[in-house]
Structure 1
């Protein structure tokens, strides 16, 4: 990663899955990494220990990214130790209902929309002053292929992440003049994640694999590579884009 040494990256929801893989990769490429978590302190500290063992720098910080005060405290802590955050990877998975529209309540659909956008809004707002002052920043949101390729029962997640994608485009427009890029990484089904465990039974998994030109599902490390590309200091002229990490599934 070009010139990454010294940059500070905050990865939300980084105690496992895509977030943990991203934290490890960014640290391996020279960034100091904040491993944010909600409740899995032991897993988060394990990610920090792995990074330290590999010669990197990381700290684990607990915060519910839907809560303004908690996010403010987290950012203040990072700023006190490392003088701010240069890269935001917003990966935290907000809980959602898996159900068809017929069986869904407004609280389930509207609640997911509100929580998804509130979290993105809150953590982005907290970090923008520092990025704007430095006139440099990378913001990467984790979306989903379900925003553009619907699947039964996933209307709450797909709709909320579609809103997040459009939010990212508007931010890209506003923040470009300040030297800040905003992009989205949209995975297809990903092995070894909580989402996959929740929604992929064996039959559906096999159908997804059969429909994927590269012949397998994504792994957390595959998604982390795309995030790291967007976070790279050398990647200065891509903003407002969405990268599909799905082995070619979205071509259909």
Structure 2
């Protein structure tokens, strides 16, 4: 396990696809990868204007970027997204599986698993033929999900934690297959991240949850700090299956 800092290495000539990249962690990650020279695919579900703004910010830095709409729980939309990526860039060197959910109002009980597990596998399945040797998959998760079942959780977050842990486990089961194609998998796990939609919804459902965690941890990572950790993990010299941790050092101790 490791906690990483820094800006990471040059990505000139590489193609990065970031899911859920119209705002928050995904948008920050896309911008950082673009600033490092990557050509970036900004995936979004329904925030077209925000996605276009991220694209404009990346292209203003001198590299290429496109926004591609796709609801990741819709297999047809996911296949169409990768058809466009193949046409425009022809490859994917870095796949950042950032999109997640399950706490939104009105979603059915099975939605969290469909998005956080099934859709992650579907995206990987479509991306893999475009990924050359030495490509990398980065799965973005939370400490609450990564340590699900071994550390105390939050009831309101339980469906998301369970589904994201299931998604991580399912991706890890693909490591032998991915390794056969020269593709590595790295997991990036973060503490509660200040300012994210999930944390806002969690605190709205259980007022005081975030402040209690802040007192326990001392401080919580910002969106920018977590996105930097994701970007560094994109090229870090670590073995496949490695987990990078951002914040929440108390989770990493035996008694934490």
User: In the TM superposition, what whole-angstrom CA distance separates every residue of 1:180-212 from its partner, at most 9, and x where no partner exists?
Assistant: 111211111111211111012562222111111
Contact 1:168 1:240 in 2 (8 A): no
What secondary structure is seen at the aligned counterpart in 2 of 1:93?
A: coil
Mapping of 1:1-252 within 5 angstroms? 1-96=8-103, 108=109, 110-131=110-131, 134-147=132-145, 148=147, 149=151, 150-200=153-203, 203-212=208-217, 215-232=218-235, 235-251=236-252, 252=256
Deviation at 1:18, TM superposition (A): 0.5
Q: CA deviation at 1:97?
A: 6.6
Higher helix share: 1
Output the CA distance in 2 between the equivalents of 1:34 and 1:169: 24
Q: Structure 2-normalised TM-score?
A: 0.86
CA contact (8 A) 1:34 1:61 kept: yes
Distance 1:3 1:25 in 2: 11
Structure 1 spans left out of the alignment, 5+ residues? 99-106
Q: What's the CA shift for 1:172? A: 2.1
More deviation in 52-61 or 151-160? 52-61
- Structure 2: runs of 5 or more not aligned: 1-7
8 Å contact from structure 1 (residues 138, 230) kept in 2: no
Shift of 1:121: 1.2
Higher relative contact order (CA 8 A, sep 6+): 2
TM-score, normalised with respect to structure 1: 0.87
SS state of the match for residue 66, structure 2? Answer: strand
Alpha-carbon distance in structure 2 between the residues aligned to 1:168 and 1:184:
10
1:103 match: none
Q: What is the count of residue pairs matched by the alignment? A: 237
Distance 1:237 1:217, change over 3 A: closer
Match of 2:156, SS state, is coil
Give the direction of change, closer, same or farther, for the CA distance of 1:24–1:36 in structure 2 (3 Å limit). same
Counterpart Cα distance in 1 of 2:174 and 2:231:
20
- Could you say what the CA RMSD is over the residues aligned between the two structures, in angstroms? 1.9
